């Protein structure tokens, strides 16, 4: 005699979840309409189920709330195809939070923040192709309002040999998390940029930076390297285990004597055994310090190079 078919609704929740995890999002949405029990089971465990994967995400906001989102979904992860961009507008924070629950944000390649009232923006782009000397790169570009019709731009590239991700999942995109990031405070855009870069470099967006306040008298690149030092990420004793990385800053019109002196002292704090090699020929300025390491049989190197003609600053730690 044949055994009776097992009814999904009669199974314990743990077994139901094992089945639900094998279903695509369209099927899950249909199942939510079957009965109250399945609706609440899917809602309570939605982050562990197969939700649509977001490829690009743009958040439009002002000093009070998130107004809208533009997003595209990943069609084929292996070749990075994505669907056309969709746009969703929200009447309140609850609608925005519900939208977050329905999507998977772990594969974001392009993330943008746009202030709809002040027209400032921050864009983070996870590059799909590796650099010649680095396996992973990420670009951060910001357009900062200066007065009614003027803007200041900020541009940096993070290059490293560890896997970089844009570390903002569903929880870290919630209103409370965005408020902690500082996006609703119009005068703290520089602090938001610094936090984003540190989040990408450390891979830990929940890290609290006790001394992360923005000193507007100092350029962002100095604030960022200072923060790396305070977190102990540039400690020479850790050189054997850390993944090498370089920061490229563009649009730097001048690198004056005060900045040169600052970085000479800065590199002096983290130097290896050998003395610093400093060069200044009028067209460029550089600092180099290296050491052949007997422990890991490699060359550790800290360097800085400023190009006057390109207006670019390269700072690396290996």
What are the tens digits of pLDDT across the range 60-78?
Answer: 998 889 999 999 987 655 4
Using DSSP, state whether 192 is helix, strand or coil. Answer: helix
Q: Residue 243: pLDDT above 90?
A: no
What are the tens digits of pLDDT across the range 198-229?
Answer: 999 888 777 654 444 556 678 999 999 999 99
- Give the Cβ contact number of residue 286 at 10 Å: 15
Q: Which residues pair with 73 in a beta bridge?
A: 54
Cβ neighbours for 188, distance < 8 A, ≥ 6 positions apart: 182, 214
Instruction: Give the span between the Cα atoms of 95 and 107, in whole angstroms.
Output: 22
Nearest CA among 59, 65, 55 for reference residue 103? 55
pLDDT at position 14:
75
Provide mean pLDDT across the span 290-315.
90
pLDDT at position 75:
67
User: Which stretches does DSSP call E strand in 161-235?
Assistant: none
Dihedral class, residue 232 (left if φ above 0, else alpha if ψ from -120 to 50, else beta): left
Nearest CA among 198, 264, 261 for reference residue 231? 198
User: Over 227-292, what HEC string results?
Assistant: HHHHCCCCCHHHCCCCCCEEEEEECCCCCCHHHHHHHHHHHHHCCCCCCCEEEECCCEEEEEEEEE
pLDDT at position 211:
45
pLDDT at position 247:
95
DSSP structural state of residue 104: B
Query: Angle formed by the axes of helices 257-269 and 220-230, to 10°?
Result: 10
Instruction: Give the span between the Cα atoms of 218 and 180, in whole angstroms.
Output: 22
What are the tens digits of pLDDT across the range 247-273?
Answer: 999 989 889 999 999 999 999 999 887
pTM of the predicted protein model:
0.79
**Pairing between strand 150-160 and 136-146?**
antiparallel
DSSP structural state of residue 186: G
């Amino acid at each position: 005699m044949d055994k009776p078919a097992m009814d999904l609704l009669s199974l314990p929740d743990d077994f139901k979840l094992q089945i639900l995890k094998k279903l695509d999002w369209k099927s899950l949405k249909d199942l939510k309409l079957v009965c109250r029990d399945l609706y609440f089971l899917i809602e309570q465990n939605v982050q562990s189920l197969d939700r649509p994967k977001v490829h690009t995400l743009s958040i439009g906001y002002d000093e009070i709330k998130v107004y809208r989102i533009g997003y595209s979904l990943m069609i084929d992860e292996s070749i990075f195809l994505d669907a056309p961009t969709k746009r969703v507008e929200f009447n309140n924070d609850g609608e925005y939070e519900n939208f977050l629950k329905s999507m998977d944000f772990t594969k974001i390649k392009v993330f943008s923040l746009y202030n709809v009232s002040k027209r400032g923006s921050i864009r983070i782009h996870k590059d799909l192709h590796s650099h010649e000397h680095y396996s992973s790169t990420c670009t951060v570009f910001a357009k900062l309002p200066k007065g009614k019709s003027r803007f200041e731009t900020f541009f940096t590239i993070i290059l490293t040999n560890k896997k970089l991700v844009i570390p903002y999942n569903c929880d870290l995109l919630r209103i409370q998390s965005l408020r902690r990031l500082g996006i609703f405070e119009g005068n703290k855009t520089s602090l938001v940029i610094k936090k984003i870069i540190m989040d990408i470099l450390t891979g830990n967006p929940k890290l609290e930076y006790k001394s992360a306040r923005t000193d507007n008298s100092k350029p962002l690149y100095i604030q960022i390297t200072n923060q790396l030092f305070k977190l102990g990420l540039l400690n020479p004793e850790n050189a054997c285990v850390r993944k090498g990385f370089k920061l490229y800053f563009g649009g730097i019109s001048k690198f004056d004597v005060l900045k040169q002196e600052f970085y000479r002292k800065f590199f002096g704090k983290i130097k290896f055994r050998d003395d610093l090699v400093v060069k200044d020929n009028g067209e460029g300025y550089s600092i180099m310090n290296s050491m052949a390491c007997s422990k890991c049989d490699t060359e550790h190197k800290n360097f800085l190079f400023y190009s006057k003609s390109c207006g670019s600053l390269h700072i690396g730690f290996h």
